[in-house]
Amino acid sequence: MRRDRPPWLLVPFAALAIAFLVVPFGALLQRAPWSDLADEVRRPLVTDALRLSLVSAFSATALSVLLGVPLAWVLARGRFPGRSLLRAVVTLPMVLPPVVGGAALLFAFGRRGLVGGPVYDATSFLLPFSTWGVIVANTFVALPFLVITVEAGLRSLDRRYEDAAATLGAGRWTVLWRVTLPMLAPSIAAGALLSWARALGEFGATVTFAGNLQGRTQTMPLAVFIAREADRGAAIALSLVLIAVSLAVLVPLRDRWLGA
Amino acid sequence: MRSRGMRAATVTLAAAVVPMTACSDDEGEITVMAAASLTDAFDELGAAFEEANPDVTVTFNYDGSSSLRDQILAGAPADVFAAANTATMDAVAEADGTAGDPQVFVTNELAIALPAGNEAGVDGLDDFGDDALLIGLCAEEVPCGSFGREALTNAGVTPAPDTDEPDVRSLLDKVASGELDAGIVYVSDVLAAGDGVEGVEIPEDQNVTAEYPIATLTESGNAEVADEFVAFVLSDEGQAILAGFGFGPPSS
């Protein structure tokens, strides 16, 4: 179709954007230790880190959906004082350097933390230095992506369908489950995908809050960072594994969920 | 802990000795790549050097030694490299990145860092094998991690760490905030951390000495001033400043 052809002025800028995003990955591939790659990725360090990354990224995504959809609803539809402020606070983890976020989590949920302190004294339960800590750190940075996406989806929703359902006698809960959420599904899926991607790459908040221990808290980004200290080739090999896993999830889902 | 007065006295002393040692006709800018553990000491060294050479500006780039090595090997403009271990310096030297042979300018011993109050009652390396305690080490891949494990081997202890921190400062932070019961860091770090951290000495027969080498870089655009700075670090004034931050002399 003729109208699908872009105005010519856009083309060079789009090409520049593609080059900007693709060239660094090309450079990474060029530096990769291809001959040792097969051995490199089979090390227990890599398989442990990959398993932990997937577990924590998917858990963080599930938690983000569970907590983020209700929050998005409140932010989009709720009428209460301080809503703008709350909206800004919710997006703070996106702006904050992740290391600061991790430190804040430690002050809140650490052994000497605001909440973590009393909990530890009563139950000896500790989030830092555990896989739960990784999931909490990942959720902290990933949640805002889901909230923003779903909130935008709720705002652009045609409310007449909900009104019609209500007029026909559906209760508030039924309207939410049978009308709002199904219509919102694409936004939730898009938000979940963004959250997952953010959680998978998380480094700063995780290492600051949960520490770094193989098999318990060492996710792929942490393994890459540590490997880089000793052996740059190993770090690149690890990065390639992370990229491959991301592409395996993003390529099929992105078109489907992020408006194709 | 060092007092402010003592620091000021050191600077004054350095300034007083200047006419005898430094050539004040040097001018220009140099960039010094220095290991993160040298931050406080080199800030003071730099100030003293600039005072002795008013036309010289010293810019510091502090980072982990291996990051600095990567930056130098990738061609980052720099004049002097001061590393926290010999391996990173050797890598630069092997790539013909150093002008002349690197020289060890200080040593640093290990110490056990504990949160103030030491509620867990840690008193030696033996406690690092205790699963019930929250123990932190540096990752094996960074100097403080490999040295720390060497000390534990010397003490016959199999460590049960709860975290392998990527660098010594993040390990120290977690100890200082009380999230960890103990960690192995450098003596200079315990001094720098101040009141939040208690130090326990590691016996001489178990301890490991880290050597810090320094060298002028081949790519230096101002080798004369760079050499001058290296000489200043090795001089009595430079060594006095470094000793004030807990670093040992190179010969020990």
CATH number at residue A172: 1.10.3720.10
B91 and B177 co-located in one domain: no
Amino acid found at A195: S
Give the C-alpha separation, B77 to A177, whole Å. 61
pLDDT digits (tens, 9 = 90+) for B73-89: 988 999 999 999 899 99
Nearest residue to B237 via CA among B112, B59, B52 = B52
Q: Answer yes or no: are the C-beta atoms of B183 and B113 closer than 8 Å.
A: yes
CA distance A133 to A39: 30
Instruction: Over range A239-258, report the average pLDDT.
Output: 83
Domain that holds residue A126: 35-257
Check CB contact under 8 Å for B141 and A229.
Answer: yes
Overall domain count for chain A: 1
Decide if pLDDT at B226 tops 60: yes
pTM given for the model: 0.84
CA distance A114 to A107: 6
The CA distances from residue A151 to A77, A92, A194, B227, in Å, are 9, 16, 14, 60
Residue B165 lies in a domain: yes
Residues B59 and B136 in one domain: no
Radius of gyration of chain A (CA): 22
**Residue range A72-119, pLDDT digits in tens:** 999 999 999 999 999 999 999 999 999 999 999 999 999 999 999 999
- Contact of A131 with chain B, judged by CB distance below 8 Å, is answered with no
Per CB-CB distance under 8 Å, the chain A contacts of B134 are 111, 126, 129
CB contact at 8 A, B212 and B104:
yes
Q: Can you list the alpha helix ranges (DSSP code H) found in chain B?
A: 4-21, 39-52, 65-73, 86-94, 143-154, 168-176, 187-193, 223-234, 236-244
Nearest CA-CA distance, residue B138 and chain A, Å: 10
The residues facing B197 across adjacent strands are B115
Chain B residues whose beta carbon lies within 8 Å of the beta carbon of residue A111: 134, 178-179
Q: Quick one: B10 and B54 in the same domain? A: yes
Check if B196 contacts A (Cβ < 8 Å).
Answer: no
**What pLDDT score does A250 carry?**
85
Residue A146 located in a structural domain:
yes
> Which chain B residues in 23-52 lie under 8 Å from chain A, judged by CB atoms?
none
Spatial neighbors of A113 by CB under 8 A, at least 6 apart, are A106, A107
Q: Is the pLDDT of residue A259 over 90?
A: no
CB–CB of B134 and A129 under 8 A? yes
B92 in contact with A at a CB cutoff of 8 Å? no
Structurally, chain B folds into a number of domains equal to 2
Rounded distance, CA A224 to CA A238, Å? 6
**Banded pLDDT at A14 (limits 50, 70, 90):** very high
Q: Does A10 touch chain B (CB under 8 A)?
A: no
Averaged confidence pLDDT in chain B: 88
pLDDT, position B15: 46
3-class SS of residue A74: helix
- Residue in the structure block whose two tokens are 């670093």: B247
Which of the four pLDDT bands, split at 50, 70 and 90, describes residue B22?
very low
Mean predicted confidence (pLDDT) in B158-175: 93
Whether A87 is covered by a domain: the verdict is yes
pLDDT tens for A180-226 read 999 999 999 999 999 999 999 999 999 999 999 999 999 999 999 99
pLDDT at A85 (0 to 100): 94
C-alpha to C-alpha distance for A65 and A68, rounded to whole angstroms: 5
* Residue B136 pLDDT grade (very low, low, confident, very high; cuts 50, 70, 90): very high
Query: In angstroms, rounded to a whole number, what is the distance separating the alpha carbons of residues A50 and A60?
Result: 15
B231 with B170, same domain?
A: no
CATH number at residue B33: 3.40.190.10
* pLDDT band at residue B16 using 50, 70 and 90 as cut-offs: very low
What's the one-letter identity of residue B175? V
| Whether B189 contacts B37, CB under 8 Å | yes
Work out how many CB contacts closer than 8 A connect A with B: 59
Least confident of A28-37, A249-258, B31-40, B147-156: A249-258
Whether pLDDT at B13 is above 50: no
Do both B45 and B88 map to the same domain?
Answer: yes
Q: Any CB–CB contact under 8 A between B198 and chain A?
A: no
My answer on whether B121 and B162 are in the same domain is yes
Residues in chain B: 252
Question: Cβ of B166 and A110 within 8 Å?
Answer: no
Closest partner CB to A213 (pick from B163, B174, B177): B163
Taking only the tens place, the pLDDT of each residue in B29-88 is 999 999 988 999 999 999 999 999 999 999 999 988 888 998 999 889 999 999 998 999
Query: For chain A, how long is the longest CA-to-CA vector?
Result: 69
Residue B179, pLDDT score: 94
Q: What confidence tier does B26 reach under pLDDT thresholds 50, 70, 90?
A: low
**Cβ within 8 Å, pair A129-B64:** no
pLDDT band at B12; cut points 50, 70, 90: very low
Using CB atoms, which residue from A111, A217, A229 is nearest to B179? A111
Residue A216 lies in a domain: yes
Give bridge partners of residue B211 from the DSSP assignment: B107
Q: What SS3 string covers B34-87?
A: EEHHHHHHHHHHHHHHHHHCCCEEEEEEEECHHHHHHHHHCCCCCCEEECCCHH
- Chain B residues in contact with A112 by the CB 8 A cut-off are 177-179
User: Can you tell me whether residue A1 is helix, strand or coil?
Assistant: coil
pLDDT at B182 over 50: yes
CA distance A213 to chain B (A): 5
User: Above 80 in pLDDT, residue B123?
Assistant: yes
Q: What domain range includes position B21? A: 4-107+210-244
Q: What angle do CA A57, A128, B121 make, to 5 degrees?
A: 160
pLDDT at B17 over 70: no
B21 confidence band (pLDDT: 50, 70, 90): very low
B176 interfacial to chain A (CB closer than 8 Å): no
Mutate one of A52, A109, A209, A229 to test the B interface: name it (highest B CB count within 10 A).
A229
